[in-house]
Amino acid sequence: MTYLPKPRLHHPELPRNDLGFTRRDYEGAISTLCAGCGHDSISAAIIHACFELSLPPHRIAKLSGIGCSSKTPTYFLGNSHGFNSVHGRMPSVLTGANLANRDLIYLGVSGDGDSASIGLGQFAHAMRRGVNMTYIVENNGVYGLTKGQFSATADRGAKNKSGVANNDEAIDLVSMALQLGATFIGRGFSGDKTQLVPLIKAALSHRGAAFIDVVSPCVAFNNHAGSTKSFDYVREHNEAVNFLDVILSRAEIVTEYAPGSVREVTQHDGSVLRLRKLAEDYDVSDRIAACAYLQHRHAAGEIVTGLLYVDPEAEEMHDYLGTAIEPLNGLMEAELCPGAGALAKVNAGLR
């Protein structure tokens, strides 16, 4: 951390987006995390993504639970709505908020403790309900705030800072999300923003439950030899299946690629995900094959990253529930008290 606020002076040629904002306008307060924390890079990636998508800050709601990761929403999107909820309960609060106002863009930020331990049930249900959101887990494999115990996502056999190996099997949130029906699933690495920023952009423009697992080394407690979530280990074992470009309008597509090497997926909002294949035969629209591929590569000791699964035609919770399109805060007396005739109609339907 630092004691100083980041100076407001910025590069004189800092670009502005369609809304006239610079990237700096999407920043938050100065981080109080440890120097070098991977989470700060993820915050920076979120800032980049929101800036590049020209998202209006006041239309974003950022929600989190408890933990190092859940502190981070203070450090980005300082002009957006924020909710720091109870430990592991971010998904419920986000679901409730989404039910009340589907017009906001929901960004849930959580950690491996918040989502894979105390909040595992909450995580699972938010995924299976198809809540329209971007759910980011900042995954460092340790409990940093309590000085470095293994978390539920620590790999079996990984060693802690004092050299003791972990005996428990790791929870792989990506595999769970695949099984539970999330409609956008990716994995990134805090040390590779060229991969992470497009993933976040794609997730934010996805309609449905989007989940990104971001491996984020804990510099204080999990960046040593023997850790499987250190900068060095992740760089050595990172196996990206594809390289993603998010294209906001058709007109921008200019680059030519060899046939078969590129796949384009058009999302609900018209944005195009252009995937340059790195792993041959990997199909981002095949949920079952993705599950198998992940297991396979995990057994080989690799960390699979990239956009792993996407369903561009996904439905979301409001579609299943048939809820009002207008946010609750926009419903006026006429809609809320439709009168005796409407009541009689409802009553008649129940007879």
At residue 6, what is the residue type?
K
Measured from the CB atom, is 36 or 157 closer to another protein? 36
User: Counting contacts by CB under 8 A, is residue 225 touching another protein?
Assistant: no
Closest distance to another protein from the beta carbon of 241 (Å): 20
Near another protein in 56-75, by CB under 8 A: none
Closest distance to another protein from the beta carbon of 7 (Å): 4
Site track 184-223 with another protein (rule: CB under 8 A), x = hit: ------xx-x-----------------------x-xx--x
Task: Answer for the pair 64, 73: CB distance below 8 angstroms, yes or no.
Answer: yes
User: Counting contacts by CB under 8 A, is residue 40 touching another protein?
Assistant: yes
Residues with Cβ within 8 Å of 108's Cβ and at least 6 positions away in sequence, in order, are: 62, 63, 64, 90, 91, 94, 126, 133, 134, 135, 136
Q: How many Cβ atoms are within 10 Å of 294's Cβ, its own excluded?
A: 21
Positive or negative, the CA dihedral 147, 38, 295, 272 is positive
Total binding residues for another protein by CB under 8 A? Answer: 33
Task: Tell me the sheet residues that pair with 84.
Answer: 64
Measured from the CB atom, is 8 or 351 closer to another protein? 8
Structure tokens at 291: 């599950």
User: Counting contacts by CB under 8 A, is residue 164 touching another protein?
Assistant: no
User: Counting contacts by CB under 8 A, is residue 14 touching another protein?
Assistant: yes
User: Counting contacts by CB under 8 A, is residue 29 touching another protein?
Assistant: no
DSSP string for residues in 129-169: HT-SEEEEEEE-SEETTTTSEE-TTSPTT-B-TTSPBP-SP
User: Counting contacts by CB under 8 A, is residue 34 touching another protein?
Assistant: yes
Helices assigned H by DSSP within 283-339: 287-299, 317-321, 333-336
Contacts with another protein by CB under 8 A lie at 1-4, 6-14, 24, 34-38, 40-41, 43-44, 190-191, 193, 217, 219-220, 223, 231-232, 235
